[in-house]
């Protein structure tokens, strides 16, 4: 509301003056550095920070993705139990938009105009979030760590308060493409990809790296149509020896099943989005009851993929240990899979940003904190954040699925979104998780 | 009883309603303004659909596709040509009407479930044109349509209030036009065709032309609704115009009261507000969104069934029954408001029975309409 | 040429699934003159029940039988309790009630079983069969699907044409009051119609769920295509349902294979409109006559 903006600013100014006076008159009894916690912004009270999100909790996009927000919330609950953010607890209000942009608009307007959240965190989906990003930016609501790999969140001119987080699809395509170009020279390559910006951006990245003469087929699929037989037939007819697939897990599994039906076994290279070994094994579990050779975990054996978070198979990794502990305590009913890892990792990033924003942050403080750069969290590669770049994670390692877990077989590669940008090795070791599990302020 | 001309009567009601909405929008705050703006696209589209089904007896589960045509036309006109909003509205309506005409000609011979099936497939297939021509139509990401407040209202005018004014204004205009159409010769001809196609043809009516005209009117309304939906949502994409949208429009039309424009308002309000209301109720009763997000979904399905069982003639049918019981409608008819728009639902529903499907009506409802009237409807 | 053969076979096996849904819709339409939008959702629910039994007892066929029985029961219960309230009301009321059922059943499945995809076992092996070195592109499971659907269609046709129960079902749909006067227990026929349709839907669910993975919304898209197949074939005839399914399956397969996945639905629409423009009541229907 326009009038309440003005009232809000006046209120903040008044409270700021009061708090300076209070500090000057001697610190209070708390052990902190003395300034009192105030209502420094909408959604911030002395005891809570309220943030909102829109998520597909039911409907066609729900499988898998509906776990992300509960996982982030589990990390926030862990944080709240261990001191919160300067003593404030995070209240995470995520509402169901059923992957329908009209509902996304409804719930986000409710969160901002009625529930007065401080920021929108990890809004999921590209067409859905595009419906609300302009509104959020026009009202200067921080729109942080969108759950989508679209390059569109990096638009500092038109969407200055919006930030991506995950490795975007073009970068991912380039990293996978470079690996294929090196390790599958002279082989025929086929693409199988979802017919939306996820698949198309991935193919764009792949095409930057893989020589044109090697690409023999490019087949897209529509996620509402499970009959992908024609596309797999076409890939086989073209003789593709390596199939690169930008698919969601259900369609990776379908691809594998169709290939079995056709007795076609090319090397599969799958995007991180669709290669979570635990999800895939779950989808293929029922087929193991048949006596045909090689199902379940064996069916995922040898799939090449990439990863920008540590592998769940590395139990000794400090991040995996931390997140496993939090999962077992707060969300034991959910499977500990890639979606849960994603949710907790992005939750950690938000907490890092909030600590950087200061003790009594305004909305602008959060945006400025991220613009100044965030230290690496659970990801294997650094963030790109700066005032001119709102992309998040910049790189990934290549891995092979073996016995149901990702086994890295290269180091980390980082790159950018451009057609000619180089793919370079990133050799710095991943920083360990803090012992307390909470980033230091 | 003074005979007030139809147009004047409808305009008077519209002006009063506009004044009420104007005053309310200033008082109720930005979030409620937004909710007001959200109902209007539904009202426009459902009004057109309820005329199509209730008056001309053709069932369509595909009006979401025409909304898509209107929405995408609007986004393209906005993005490439930067037309003013009113021009965009007219453009979207015309293109959608043209699409409706083409489909209406193709489907002119279809009746009942076959028309339903054709429109269903239209609703599923048409949005996929956007993915086929992704370079122009934006593909899965869609196109933006973020119109800001016009300059003459001043720099601090609330965006949500502007959205409410524009979309409610368009909705009132469409309702007035439709109300006049319903009471005109064309409306009477439609009802004649709906009641008994052969008799109407024998009486000299051009059945096919009337059916196509009804399709054009309903698709034009859907196109206008699509433009408003795009305006309020800020974007158009295939995931906005799924089959679910078309089914929602049908549900709103029937639940509100077939053939009744007031019913379009009830039905749209139910459809736009019930899902989020139910979700908020669930959350505030401690059913957090993680324990089961599907509980509000079950509740919504139950609500639909219960409303349909309790109000067999739609909500408007229930309202008019209430009006009859309390004598309000007698008072209104003395003021010059014939009860036809209130009672249209009951008459329409008893007659629509006969139009549905070739060869036979539903079990237990085979008697011709005369018998229903004799039974005192 | 091999590609063409593979597309055709793939289209036939997909089309038979659409035919299974189409058969259940034809049954309900012929018996009760209602379009049941919840048909797919009911099939999804019976598939979940089957999965519970299969995972609990380890036997696929027990789960299969339980699914069919559950389909019978759920269909009968829905008719008795919900649809019966709207049978003497305007026909669109029944459609809205079925839409409410669709939403409610999907929500119920979400509450009971969660929203994630569940793996669903096929009846037989899904490894491709081959003649010598040439992979045929079909599997044992595909053959079972074809046999099951064709058997169901055949049994349905026999039921309608040659049995007195079928005659009574058709009479109820044609003219309820005359049927009642002739001694047909109309209420029982309505319930039987929905029960049998529930059984057919359950069969479709069992056959298709391995490919869609089971989730509350997994039957939505299949239902739309099954409905389209029913309309293409004409809602009056089981043979039409199978024919409609096969035509649709094959057309969609060629469109997807030769042209790309974005145009599949458009070709479905084109096929449907083409058929309906030539024969407005579907392929296998006779033109209705009316005394004026």
Print the SS3 string covering A174-217: HHHHHHHHHHCCCCCEEEEEECCHHHHHHHHHHHHHCCHHHEEE
Helix (H) or strand (E) holding B322: helix B314-326
Are B113 and C268 a contacting pair at CB < 8 A? no
Are A134 and B144 a contacting pair at CB < 8 A? yes
Mean pLDDT of B2-28: 83
The pLDDT of residue C106 is above 50: yes
Question: How many interchain CB pairs under 8 A, A with B?
Answer: 106
Paired residues of A164 in beta bridges: A146
pLDDT at B107: 87
Are B359 and C104 a contacting pair at CB < 8 A? no
The pLDDT of residue B360 is above 80: no
- pLDDT band for position B305 (50/70/90)? very high
User: If you average pLDDT over every residue of chain C, what do you get?
Assistant: 88
Cβ(C222)–Cβ(C21) below 8 Å = yes
C21: contact with B, CB 8 A cutoff: no
The model's pLDDT over A298-325, given as tens digits with 9 standing for 90+, comes to: 788 899 999 999 999 888 999 999 999 9
Question: How many interchain CB pairs under 8 A, B with C?
Answer: 199
What distance in Å separates the CA atoms of residue C87 and residue C80, rounded to the nearest whole number?
10
CA A75 to chain centre: 15
Least confident of A380-394, B170-184, B231-245, B351-365: B351-365
> HEC states along chain A?
CHHHHHHHHHHHHHHHHHHHHHHHCCCCCCCCCCCCCCCCCCCECCCEEEEEEEECCCCCCCCCHHHHHHHHHHHHHHHHHCCCECCEEEEEEEEECCCCHHHHHHHHHHHHHHCCCCEEECCECHHHHHCCHHHHHHCCCCEEEEECCCHHHCCCCCCCCEEECCCCHHHHHHHHHHHHHHHCCCCCEEEEEECCHHHHHHHHHHHHHCCHHHEEEEEEECCCCCCCHHHHHHHHHCCCCEEEEECCHHHHHHHHHHHHHHCCCCEEEECHHHCCHHHHHHHHHHHHHCCCCCCCHHHHCCCEEEECCCCCCCCCCHHHHHHHHHHHHHCCCCCCCHHHHHHHHHHHHHHHHHHHHCCCCCHHHHHHHHHCCCCCCCCCCCECCECCECCCECEEEEEEEECCEEEEEEEEEECCCCCCCCCEEECCCCCCCCCCCCCCC
For residue B238, what is the DSSP state? G
For residue B347, what is the DSSP state? H
Least confident of A358-367, B264-273, C130-139: C130-139
pLDDT at B24: 85
> Phi, psi (5° rounding) for residue C9?
-65, -45
Helix (H) or strand (E) holding B95: helix B85-106
Paired residues of A146 in beta bridges: A164
Least confident of A112-126, B128-142, B284-298, C106-120: B284-298
B243: contact with C, CB 8 A cutoff: yes
Are B255 and C96 a contacting pair at CB < 8 A? yes
pLDDT at B289: 59
C29: contact with B, CB 8 A cutoff: yes
Task: Return the exposure string of C236-272: e unless at least 16 CB atoms fall within 10 Å of the residue's CB, then b.
Answer: bbbbbbbbbbbbbbbbbbbbbbeebbbbbbbbbbebb
pLDDT at A51: 96
pLDDT at A17: 47
Q: Which chains touch C (3 or more CB pairs under 8 A)?
A: A, B
What distance in Å separates the CA atoms of residue B163 and residue B177, rounded to the nearest whole number?
21
ipTM of the complex, rounded to two decimals: 0.89
- Measured between alpha carbons, how far is residue C160 from residues A322, B186, C31, C193, C195 in Å? 64, 43, 10, 11, 15
Question: Which tokens is B8 given?
Answer: 């004047």
Write down the H helix ranges in chain C: 2-32, 39-57, 60-81, 91-113, 140-162, 164-174, 176-181, 186-212, 220-233, 238-254, 264-278
All structural domains of chain A, each given as residue ranges with its CATH number in brackets, are 170-307 (3.40.50.2300)
Question: Which tokens is C56 given?
Answer: 């609990």
Percent of chain C with pLDDT over 70: 95
**Edge-to-edge strand list for the sheet holding A162-164:** A89-96, A48-55, A119-121, A143-146, A162-164
B34: contact with A, CB 8 A cutoff: yes
Q: What DSSP string describes B198-212?
A: HHHHHTT--HHHHHH
Residue B295 region by backbone torsions, left for phi larger than 0, else alpha for psi between -120 and 50, else beta: alpha
The whole-model pTM stands at 0.87
B232: contact with A, CB 8 A cutoff: yes
In a 13 Å sphere around the CA of C168, the CA atoms on its Cβ side amount to 17
What distance in Å separates the CA atoms of residue A142 and residue A371, rounded to the nearest whole number?
12
Which residues does chain A have with pLDDT short of 50? Answer: 1-33, 291-294
The pLDDT of residue C93 is above 80: yes
Helix (H) or strand (E) holding B194: helix B185-195
B82, with CB counted inside 10 A (0-12, 13-18, 19+), is: exposed
The pLDDT of residue C287 is above 80: no
Q: Which chains touch A (3 or more CB pairs under 8 A)?
A: B, C
Question: Which tokens is B67 given?
Answer: 């909304």
Q: Which residues contact B105 (CB under 8 A, 6 or more apart)?
A: B212
Q: Which of residues 164-223 of B touch A (CB under 8 A)?
A: none
pLDDT at A1: 41
Q: Which chains touch B (3 or more CB pairs under 8 A)?
A: A, C
Mean pLDDT of C266-277: 92
pLDDT at A11: 44
CA distance A185 to chain B (A): 32
* Chain A residues whose beta carbon lies within 8 Å of the beta carbon of residue C124: 290
A377-381, C257-261, C288-292: which has the highest mean pLDDT?
Answer: A377-381
Q: Which residues contact C239 (CB under 8 A, 6 or more apart)?
A: C153, C157, C233, C284
B107: contact with C, CB 8 A cutoff: yes
Tokens 């929108």 sit on residue: A120
Q: Which of residues 133-192 of C touch B (CB under 8 A)?
A: 172-177, 186, 190
For residue C135, what is the DSSP state? E
pLDDT at A293: 46
CA distance A270 to chain B (A): 21
What distance in Å separates the CA atoms of residue A229 and residue A258, rounded to the nearest whole number?
6
pLDDT at C291: 57
> HEC states along B244-308?
HHHHHHHHHHHHHCCCCHHHHHHHHHHHHHHHHHHHHHHHHCCCCCCCCCCHHHHHHHHHHHHHH
Strand A405-414 to strand A395-402: parallel, antiparallel, or no bridges (unpaired)? antiparallel
Q: What angle do the packed helices B159-182 and B340-355 form, to 10 degrees?
A: 70
Question: Which tokens is B54 given?
Answer: 């209730």
Of C119, C126, C210, the CB nearest to A260: C126
- Measured between alpha carbons, how far is residue A281 from residues A1, A405, C47, C212 in Å? 49, 10, 20, 15
Closest by alpha carbon to C75, among C18, C148, C24, C20? C24
* Chain B residues whose beta carbon lies within 8 Å of the beta carbon of residue A135: 146, 159, 234
pLDDT at A27: 41
CA distance B132 to chain A (A): 9
- Measured between alpha carbons, how far is residue A133 from residues A146, A152, B134 in Å? 10, 10, 21
Cβ(A216)–Cβ(A239) below 8 Å = yes
What distance in Å separates the CA atoms of residue C290 and residue C288, rounded to the nearest whole number?
7
């Amino acid at each position: 509301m326009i009038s309440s903006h003005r009232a809000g600013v006046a209120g903040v100014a008044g409270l700021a003056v009061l708090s300076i006076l209070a500090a000057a008159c001697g610190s209070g009894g708390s052990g902190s550095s003395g300034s009192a916690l105030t209502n420094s912004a909408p959604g911030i009270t002395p005891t809570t920070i309220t943030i909102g999100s829109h998520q597909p909790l039911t409907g066609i996009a729900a499988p898998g993705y509906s776990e992300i927000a509960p996982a982030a919330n589990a990390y926030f609950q862990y944080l709240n139990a261990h001191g919160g953010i300067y003593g404030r607890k995070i209240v995470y209000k995520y509402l169901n938009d059923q992957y329908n942009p009209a509902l996304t608009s409804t719930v986000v307007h409710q969160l901002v105009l009625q529930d007065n959240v401080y920021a929108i965190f990890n809004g999921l989906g590209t067409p859905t979030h595009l419906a609300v990003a302009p509104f959020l930016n026009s009202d200067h609501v921080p729109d942080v760590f969108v759950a989508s790999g679209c390059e569109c969140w990096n638009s500092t001119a038109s969407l200055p308060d919006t930030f991506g987080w995950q490795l975007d699809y073009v970068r991912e395509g380039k990293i996978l493409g470079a690996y294929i170009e090196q390790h599958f020279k002279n082989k025929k390559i086929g693409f199988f990809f979802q017919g939306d910006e996820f698949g198309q951006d991935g193919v764009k990245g792949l095409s930057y790296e893989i020589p044109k003469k090697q690409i023999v087929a490019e087949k897209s699929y529509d996620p509402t149509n499970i009959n992908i037989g024609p596309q797999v037939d076409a890939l086989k007819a073209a003789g593709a020896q390596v199939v690169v697939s930008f698919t969601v897990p259900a369609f990776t599994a379908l691809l594998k099943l169709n290939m079995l039906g056709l007795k076609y076994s090319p090397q599969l290279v799958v995007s991180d989005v669709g290669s979570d070994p635990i999800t895939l094994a779950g989808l293929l579990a029922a087929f193991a009851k048949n006596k045909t050779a090689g199902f379940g975990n064996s069916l995922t054996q040898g799939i090449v993929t990439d990863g920008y978070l540590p592998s769940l198979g590395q139990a000794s990794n400090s991040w995996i240990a931390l997140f496993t502990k939090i999962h077992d305590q707060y969300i034991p009913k959910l499977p500990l899979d890639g979606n849960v890892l994603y949710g907790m990792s992005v939750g950690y990033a938000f907490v890092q940003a909030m600590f950087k924003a200061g003790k009594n942050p305004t909305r602008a403080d959060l945006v400025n904190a991220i613009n100044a750069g965030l230290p690496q969290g659970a990801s294997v590669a650094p963030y790109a954040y700066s005032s001119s770049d709102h992309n998040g994670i910049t790189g990934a390692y290549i891995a092979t699925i073996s016995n149901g877990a990702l086994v890295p077989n290269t180091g980390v590669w980082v790159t950018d979104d451009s057609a000619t940008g180089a793919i370079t090795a990133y050799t710095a070791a991943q920083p360990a998780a803090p012992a307390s599990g909470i980033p230091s302020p | 009883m003074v005979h007030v001309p139809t147009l004047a009567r409808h305009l008077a009601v519209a002006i009063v309603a506009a004044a009420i909405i104007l005053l309310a929008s200033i008082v109720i705050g930005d979030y409620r303004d937004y909710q007001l703006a959200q109902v209007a696209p539904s009202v426009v589209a459902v009004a057109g659909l309820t005329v199509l089904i209730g008056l001309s007896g053709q069932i369509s589960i595909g009006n979401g596709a025409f909304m898509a045509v209107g929405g995408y036309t609007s986004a393209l006109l906005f993005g490439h040509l930067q037309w003013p909003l009113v021009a965009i509205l007219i453009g979207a309506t015309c293109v959608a009407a043209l699409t409706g005409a083409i489909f209406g000609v193709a489907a002119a011979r279809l009746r009942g479930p076959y028309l339903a099936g054709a429109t269903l497939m239209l609703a599923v297939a048409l949005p996929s044109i956007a993915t086929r021509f992704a370079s122009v139509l934006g593909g899965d990401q869609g196109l933006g349509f973020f119109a800001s407040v016009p300059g003459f209202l001043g720099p601090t005018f609330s965006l949500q209030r502007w959205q409410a004014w524009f979309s409610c204004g368009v909705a009132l205009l469409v309702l007035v036009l439709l109300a006049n159409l319903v009471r005109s010769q064309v409306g009477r001809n439609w009802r004649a065709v709906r009641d008994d196609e052969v008799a109407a043809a024998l009486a000299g009516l051009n059945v096919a032309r009337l059916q196509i005209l009804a399709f054009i009117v309903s698709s034009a309304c859907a196109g206008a609704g699509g433009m408003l939906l795009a305006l309020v949502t800020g974007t158009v994409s295939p995931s906005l115009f799924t089959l679910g949208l078309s089914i929602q429009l049908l549900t709103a039309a029937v639940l509100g009261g077939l053939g009744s424009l007031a019913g379009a308002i009830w039905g749209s309000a139910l459809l736009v507000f019930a899902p989020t209301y139910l979700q908020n109720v669930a959350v505030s009763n401690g059913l957090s969104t993680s324990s089961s997000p599907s509980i509000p979904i079950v509740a919504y399905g139950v609500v639909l069934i219960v409303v349909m069982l309790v109000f067999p003639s739609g909500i408007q049918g229930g309202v008019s029954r209430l009006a009859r019981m309390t004598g309000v409608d007698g008072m209104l008819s003395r003021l010059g408001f014939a009860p036809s728009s209130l009672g249209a639902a009951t008459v329409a529903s008893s007659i629509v029975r006969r139009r549905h499907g070739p060869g036979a009506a539903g079990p237990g409802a085979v008697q011709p309409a005369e018998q229903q009237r004799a039974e005192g409807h | 040429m091999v590609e063409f053969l593979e597309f055709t076979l793939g289209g036939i096996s997909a089309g038979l699934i659409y035919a299974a849904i189409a058969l259940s819709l034809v049954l309900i339409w012929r018996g009760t003159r209602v379009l049941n939008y919840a048909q797919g959702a009911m099939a999804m629910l019976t598939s979940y029940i089957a999965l519970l039994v299969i995972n609990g007892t380890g036997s696929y066929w027990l789960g299969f039988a339980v699914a069919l029985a559950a389909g019978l029961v759920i269909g009968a219960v829905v008719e008795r309790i919900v649809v019966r309230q709207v049978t003497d009301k305007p026909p669109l009321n029944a459609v809205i009630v079925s839409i409410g059922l669709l939403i409610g059943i999907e929500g119920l499945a979400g509450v009971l079983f969660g929203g994630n995809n569940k793996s669903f076992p096929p009846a037989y092996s899904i490894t491709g069969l081959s003649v010598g070195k040439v992979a045929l592109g079909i599997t044992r499971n595909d053959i079972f699907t074809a046999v099951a659907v064709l058997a169901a269609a055949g049994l349905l046709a026999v039921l309608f044409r040659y049995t007195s129960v079928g005659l009574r079902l058709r009479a109820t749909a044609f003219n309820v009051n005359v049927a009642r006067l002739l001694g047909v227990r109309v209420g029982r026929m309505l319930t039987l119609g929905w029960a049998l349709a529930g059984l057919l839907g359950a069969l479709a669910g069992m056959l298709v769920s391995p490919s869609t993975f089971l989730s509350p919304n997994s039957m939505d898209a299949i239902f739309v295509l099954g409905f389209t197949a029913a309309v293409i074939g004409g809602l009056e005839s089981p043979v039409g349902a199978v024919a409609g399914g096969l035509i649709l399956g094959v057309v969609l397969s060629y469109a997807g294979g030769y042209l790309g996945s974005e145009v599949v639905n458009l070709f479905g629409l084109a096929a449907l409109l083409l058929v309906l423009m030539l024969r407005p009541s579907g392929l296998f229907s006779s033109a209705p006559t009316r005394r004026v």
